[in-house]
Amino acid sequence: MKKTKQILAMIGVILLAALYLGTLVLAILGKDFFPMFMAALATTMVLPIILWLYTLMEKSRKEKKENTEI
């Protein structure tokens, strides 16, 4: 389970780095790419929130499972 979490965390980090780089490139390219820039910017803001919510739910589920076993 720990190995799976590490792999998922690494995928998340790589995905965020790619989004940041893509947002920067789209910002440099100019007005022709404005819709794609806005989409990349929104995704850059929403993805960390989704990942945080997922980890929060997973932690809560794990604690609930441990409490029911006692």
Q: Which domain holds residue 17?
A: 2-69
Q: pTM of the predicted model, to two decimals?
A: 0.69
Direct distance between the N- and C-terminal alpha carbons of the chain, in angstroms, rounded to an integer: 21
Supply the angle between the helices 2-29 and 34-69 in degrees, to the nearest 10: 160
Number of H-type helices and E-type strands within the chain: 2, 0
Tens digits of pLDDT across the chain (70 residues): 688 878 888 988 898 899 999 999 999 998 899 999 999 999 989 988 988 898 899 889 888 888 887 6
Written as one string, the DSSP assignment of 9-36 is HHHHHHHHHHHHHHHHHHHHH-GGGHHH
How many structural domains does the chain have?
1
